[in-house]
């Protein structure tokens, strides 16, 4: 539908202009013969002017968001052209359209920092399979300080690690930090390429650990993960919470977590992993004051 342009001369209280602006595809220019201070005292003029300002700001805000997203898309596609082993699609999704279960760790963390309007999602379509899209960015807005200003600031956050993994088809984030020459030689002088795995069948070991939390204390999830990384030398591939149990009567809380041990660049031995598991149990007992079950 073609855009309609309307010029209003000598508006009284701007209620008609505000109503016209609600119609899609309409651009309105409204004028009056008095200053704003004089018009604002007339009937519903102040409310109409406020509505008009909100619509103008909303339109400017959306344009700014789209401009930022377009620039991000252009940059990502230019990087992806150097690999071009598969199709990469980028989309902007409203935060309200994604359920909590669909949020990645990055998206969930960003959501805790403040209200998010949009998520920037990337999906890699390889020859073998089409992986589910991942949230690699978040867009939020906030009123511009000082208070009372009509301006809005648009923020964009990007997870560069996850973007690099998707562009180069790296399935283990720990590879980004390895000093293994077999990995580094695949990206000479920082050139982006499709990653070729050099560990085809790395063995993995699963260890479940259950423990009671200290009474009156909140579980330190960050410290728990930090200890796991320290004792394993980054050999813990994942940590998942399996169960959260509260004992009737006493109110004590017990957690059960599953650790998956798997190195990204070598084969772990069963005895080596058993020693890691034992040390991990000792460390969380001493440092987090949990009671092992």
Which of 142, 168, 194 delimits the end of a domain?
Answer: 168
53 compared with 245, residue with greater pLDDT: 245
Mean pLDDT of 52-77: 73
Q: Do 39 and 79 reside in the same domain of the chain?
A: no
Residue-range definition of the domain harbouring residue 126? 60-168
Least confident of 83-87, 190-194, 234-238: 83-87
- Helix, strand, coil percentages for the chain (3-state, nearest 5): 40, 25, 35
Note whether 95 and 118 are within 8 A (CB): yes
> Quick check: is 78 in a domain?
yes
Q: Is the pTM of this model over 0.75?
A: no
Residues 91 and 161 in one domain: yes
Is residue 216 included in any domain, yes or no?
yes
Are 29 and 67 found together in one domain? no
The phi and psi torsions of 21 (rounded to 5 degrees) equal: -65, -20
Give the pLDDT of residue 130. 45
> What is the DSSP code string of 140-177?
EEEEPSSTT---EEEEEEE-HHHHHHHHHT---GGGGG
Domain shared by 116 and 211, yes or no: no
Residues 74, 154, single domain; the answer is: yes
108 shares a domain with 76 = yes
- pLDDT at position 106 is 64
Give the residue ranges of DSSP H helices in 2-132.
15-21, 36-39, 45-80, 105-113
Please state the rounded mean pLDDT for residues 9-27: 76
CATH at residue 226: 3.30.70.380
In a domain, 52, yes or no: no
Asked whether 167 and 79 are in contact (CB, 8 A), the reply is: yes
Domain count for the chain: 3
Residues 90 and 132 in one domain: yes
pLDDT of res. 129: 45
What pLDDT, on the 0 to 100 scale, is given for residue 110? 66
pLDDT at 146: 58
Question: Mean pLDDT over residues 131-158, rounded?
Answer: 70
What confidence tier does 163 reach under pLDDT thresholds 50, 70, 90? Answer: confident
Q: What span, in angstroms and rounded, lies between the C-alpha atoms of 279 and 293?
A: 15
pLDDT at 203: 80
User: Is the residue at 132 inside a domain?
Assistant: yes
Range with top average pLDDT, 31-40, 152-161, 164-173, 280-289 = 280-289
The listed range with the strongest mean pLDDT (51-65, 99-113, 245-259) is 245-259
pLDDT range class, residue 98, cuts 50, 70, 90: low
Identify the CA nearest to 237 among candidates 258, 210, 211, 220: 258
77 with 149, same domain: the answer is: yes
- Rounded mean pLDDT, 116-123: 79
pLDDT number for residue 152: 66
Give the pair of three-digit tokens for residue 147. 């208070």
47 Cβ neighbours under 8 A, 6+ residues apart:
none
Highest averaged pLDDT of the listed ranges 65-69, 83-87, 191-195, 242-246? 242-246
> What average pLDDT does this structure show over 30-44?
76
Tell me which residue of 216, 227, 205, 222 sits closest to 281, measured CA to CA: 227
Structure confidence at residue 117 (pLDDT): 75
| Joined tokens for residue 221 | 């999830």
The 10s digit of each residue's pLDDT in 213-252 is 888 778 888 888 889 888 888 788 888 888 888 888 888 8
Residue 101's pLDDT is: 44
If asked whether residues 136 and 220 sit together in one domain, one would say no
Is the domain of 216 the same as that of 119?
no
């Amino acid at each position: 539908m073609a855009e309609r342009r309307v010029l209003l001369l000598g508006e009284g209280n701007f209620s008609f202009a505000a109503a016209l602006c609600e119609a899609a595809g309409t651009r309105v220019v409204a004028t009056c013969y008095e200053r704003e201070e004089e018009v604002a005292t007339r009937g519903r003029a102040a409310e109409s002017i406020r509505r008009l300002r909100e619509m103008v700001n909303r339109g400017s805000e959306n344009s700014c968001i789209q401009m930022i997203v377009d620039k991000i898309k252009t940059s990502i596609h230019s990087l992806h052209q150097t690999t071009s082993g598969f199709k990469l699609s980028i989309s902007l999704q409203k935060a309200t359209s994604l359920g909590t279960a669909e949020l990645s760790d990055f998206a969930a963390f960003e959501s805790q920092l403040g209200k998010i309007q949009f998520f920037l999602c990337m999906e890699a379509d390889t020859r073998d399979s089409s992986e589910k899209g991942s949230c690699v960015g978040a867009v939020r807005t906030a009123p511009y300080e000082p208070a009372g200003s009509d301006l809005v600031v648009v923020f964009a956050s990007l997870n560069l690690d996850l973007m690099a993994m998707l562009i180069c088809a790296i399935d283990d984030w720990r590879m980004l930090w390895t000093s293994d020459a077999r990995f580094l030689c695949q990206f000479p002088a920082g050139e982006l390429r499709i990653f070729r795995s050099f560990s085809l069948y790395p063995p993995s070991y699963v260890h479940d650990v259950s423990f009671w939390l200290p009474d009156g204390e909140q579980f330190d999830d960050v410290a728990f993960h930090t200890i796991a990384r320290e004792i394993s030398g980054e050999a813990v591939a994942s940590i998942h919470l399996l169960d959260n149990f509260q004992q009737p009567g006493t109110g004590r809380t017990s957690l059960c977590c599953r650790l998956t041990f798997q190195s990204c660049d070598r084969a772990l031995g069963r005895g080596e992993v058993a020693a890691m598991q034992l040390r991990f149990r000792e460390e969380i007992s001493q440092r987090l004051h949990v009671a092992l079950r």
